[in-house]
Amino acid sequence: MMKITPVVKQLLIINIIFFIGSQLVPASEHFLALFFPENPEFRVWQPITHMFMHGGFAHIAFNMFALYSFGSTLEHFWGGKKFLFFYISCGLGAALINFAVNYYFYQDAMNVLISNGFNKTQILQLISQAKIDPRWNDLLSISQLQHLYDAYTGAVIGASGAIYGLLVAFAFMFPNAELGIMFIPIPVKAKYFVPIYMLLFDGFFGIFGSSLMGIDSGIAHYAHIGGAFFGFMIMWYWKKNQFNNNRWN
Tell which residue, 67, 21, 77, 88, has the closest CA to residue 231. Answer: 88
In degrees, rounded to 5, the angle at the alpha carbon of residue 116 between the alpha carbons of residues 114 and 118 is: 50
Which amino acid does the sequence have at 162? A
User: pLDDT digit of tens for each residue in the chain (249 aa)?
Assistant: 568 999 999 999 999 999 999 999 988 888 999 999 999 999 999 999 999 999 899 999 999 999 999 999 999 999 999 999 999 999 999 999 999 999 999 999 999 999 999 999 999 999 999 999 999 999 999 989 988 999 999 999 999 999 999 999 999 999 988 876 655 567 778 888 888 878 776 665 555 555 444 444 456 678 889 999 999 999 999 988 765 555 444
Q: Name the amino acid, one letter, at 46.
A: Q
Judged by DSSP in three states, 48 sits in helix
Within 10 angstroms of residue 176's Cβ, the number of other Cβ atoms is 9
CB 67 within 8 A of CB 12: yes
Planar angle of CA 82, 85, 87, nearest 5 degrees: 110
CB 161 within 8 A of CB 103: no
